[in-house]
Amino acid sequence: MNDQLEETKDLIQALSEPLYRYISRIAPSGLEFVFHIFIKILLLVAIFLVIDFVFKIVINSVFRIFRNKEKYPAINSIYESKITNSIAHLIALLIIGSIHESIFAGALVKTTIFIVRCVNLGLVMIFAGMLYRGLTAFRNYFVIKQDFYKIMALNAISETVKILGIFLFSVVGICVIFGIKGTTIVGSLGAITAVLVLVFRDTILGFVTGLHVATSKNLKVGDWVSIPKYNVEGNIAEINLLTTKINNFDRTFSTIPTYDLLTTEIKNLQVISETNGRRIKKSIFFNINSFKFLKNEDIERLKSINLISDYLNQRSLELKKEKENMAHKEEIINGRQLTNIGVFRYYAQKYIEKIPELDKEGPVMVRQLNSTPQGLPLEIYAFTNDTEWVRFEEIQSDIFDHLLVASKEFDLEVMQLKV
């Protein structure tokens, strides 16, 4: 290999000598050196482009053989991220670095340092590009594998690596251009470490949050979430190092700081769409002043309601037997009695149990909550067997439409604002 390289250098030197003499003859007096440098750089650039073009064709042709993403996900990830182009650039630049002294050999010694620094700077830029494309390759691989949690972790890592990479490669690039030691620049940065930490505070927090979210697997791109702090509900579109983008259901989008994913209450509602049930948890507020014991005529009137007729007949007999030997049994408050709110609660329970769109394997209940200044809440707690949003709202609305109107039959007053 070394012998072939030496032969190549000798060939290039032999070809460039006549060109050097020709330029010396035609160049204006005093500008020969400038013309030589200009032509030498053009030749090196031309050689670089030709070698780079040839190696791109060869390397990419090899990678195109393995087009099946399912069988060769890693190879396809590398190809799609264009790491192959970076490899071609690297090979071409290394060849330029080894042969540049053979062009106009011995005549332009002073330009050697300049060209060497240009080549080294090019290598730094190529390695920086390979790092960036390598992160893209990892992301492409996990996209093919549909591993969204690792994609999210990689997003956090890659953004941090990019920022650190820009800083480090910038330092290396400056050192290469001016020929100074990297320790000199790095040492001078020690005094402003606190400032850098303050500047990159959000970056550090975003990095930690991305790793936490990815490892805990609580959230991923595509999840349906609700964030009460920001009054946001929608699907996560992107989780980046600094910001998280959420597509709201009203066709707008919101961005929140990524580190808020650690410190803010977030409801992940994705399980609703991935299962067969979506929860109904909604209340009707009744005026407590409208509650009353049911008299015999009230009970007889309500017995015509099919869902509660058997219940009223049974309970009436039970309560009548309890009062047979009771003193002052004519007073309605003595002993147990039926109330309009209690009978309505039983009616509501039987009503929702008959609804086919509710999941009977989950809880289906009507319950009283603690009294509030707005009245007594009567809550419906159940799960629908259809998670489609529009259909869910229709089912929920049908239930409450019926119960709101039905409550009038029990002489109950629904609380509302009076204008």
How far from chain centre, in Å, is Cα 220?
Answer: 5
Residue 35 has a pLDDT of 65
The amino acid that residue 77 corresponds to is: S
What is the sign, positive or negative, of the torsion defined by CA atoms of 359, 361, 362, 363? positive
Residue 419 has a pLDDT of 36
User: CA-to-CA distance for 57 and 49, rounded, in angstroms?
Assistant: 12
Tell me 385's DSSP state. S
Residue 412 has a pLDDT of 92
Q: How far is CA 77 from CA 70, 167, 290, in A?
A: 11, 26, 70
Q: Which of 312, 318, 320, 319 is nearest to 347 (CA)?
A: 312
DSSP code per residue over 58-73: HHHHHHHT---TTT-H
What pairing do the DSSP bridges indicate for beta strands 232-239 and 243-248? antiparallel
Residue 99 has a pLDDT of 74
pTM across the whole model = 0.47
Q: Which of 415, 336, 353 is nearest to 378 (CA)?
A: 415
Residue 400 has a pLDDT of 93
Residue 217 has a pLDDT of 62
User: CA-to-CA distance for 128 and 242, rounded, in angstroms?
Assistant: 22
Angle value at C-alpha 253, between 252 and 255, nearest 5 degrees = 155
The amino acid that residue 261 corresponds to is: L
Residue 219 has a pLDDT of 72
Low-confidence ranges of the chain (pLDDT < 70): 1-36, 100, 102-111, 147-164, 167, 177-218, 241-242, 259, 270-277, 328-332, 417-419
**Token pair of 264 as six digits:** 């803010």
Residue 418 has a pLDDT of 46
SS3 365: strand
User: CA-to-CA distance for 258 and 380, rounded, in angstroms?
Assistant: 36
Angle between helices 32-64 and 73-80 (to 10 degrees): 150
User: CA-to-CA distance for 84 and 55, rounded, in angstroms?
Assistant: 9
